[in-house]
Amino acid sequence: NAGVMQNPRHLVRRRGQEARLRCSPMKGHSHVYWYRQLPEEGLKFMVYLQKENIIDESGMPKERFSAEFPKEGPSILRIQQVVRGDSAAYFCASSPPITGSEQYFGPGTRLTVT
Amino acid sequence: AQRVTQPEKLLSVFKGAPVELKCNYSYSGSPELFWYVQYSRQRLQLLLRHISRESIKGFTADLNKGETSFHLKKPFAQEEDSAMYYCALGPGGYQKVTFGTGTKLQVIP
């Protein structure tokens, strides 16, 4: 099992461009979580998804941010019209559909907005 | 609302000295507590969880509901313990987990 994969590992975008971050969960995992880590801060929950469903998006900014986890393919975190404040490390985690499971983390994508 | 507080950003101890990383939480229900660790240039990984009540790499953590704490302890620090440690709180099940801001443990040789 290759573990949670995230790509790209590093992404540079200019202000106003779109950023697409991808997360492939571990095999057999149907739950995906996205977290953001700003410099000098801890991980902040953004969104929790199951296949084709958003379960909890209470941590997502109301504008410009969206997430999906289609039936086929990776989960995508999309940030439209990026601003400098979006520069951060974005982590994805996955877990199997078993109560109390731990979350397995990917290596993260570091987004830099210039 | 769920909240996790790790009061120390950095904790420096000498090799062989005891370690205690503090974690306090607030949660109205029955919490599930975790400690995650991130070694240099590695991904975040689970260190231990309170329901398993096990010791991993010499670390233990006891849930104290009266003090709403889940401090991480190790009697004798080793250099390879140097890492970022995150305390995390979940309501149980596969739902969102709230992380603390992390404590960087630095073990001095």
The average pLDDT across A63-81 equals 96
- Residue among B36, B84, B83, B82 at smallest CA distance from B56: B36
Query: In this complex, do A102 and B43 lie within 8 Å of one another by their Cβ atoms?
Result: no
pLDDT in tens, B30-68: 788 999 999 988 889 989 988 777 788 999 998 898 999
Residue B108's pLDDT band, with cuts at 50, 70 and 90, is very high
The CA distance from B96 to the nearest CA of chain A, in Å, is: 7
Q: Please report, as a single letter, which amino acid is at residue A25.
A: P
The model's confidence at residue A95, banded by pLDDT at 50, 70 and 90, is confident
A107–B99 CB contact, under 8 Å = no
Band the pLDDT of A108: cuts 50, 70, 90.
Answer: very high
> Taking CB atoms and an 8 Å limit, are A99 and B92 in contact across chains?
yes
Instruction: Write a three-state SS string for A52-99.
Output: CEEEECCCCCCCCEEEECCCCCCEEEEECCCCHHHCEEEEEEEECCCC
User: What 3-state class would DSSP assign to A10?
Assistant: strand
Q: Is the pLDDT of residue A85 over 90?
A: yes
- Respond yes or no on whether the N-terminal peptide bond of residue A8 is cis (omega within 30° of 0): yes
Taking CB atoms and an 8 Å limit, are A103 and B98 in contact across chains?
no
Pick the residue of A103, A104, A109, A110 with the most B CBs within 10 A to test the interface with B by mutation. Answer: A103
pLDDT tens digit string along B10-32? 999 999 999 999 999 998 877 88
Residues in chain A closer than 8 A to B102 (CB atoms): 42
Strands A31-37 and A88-95: antiparallel
More confident residue, A96 or B33: B33
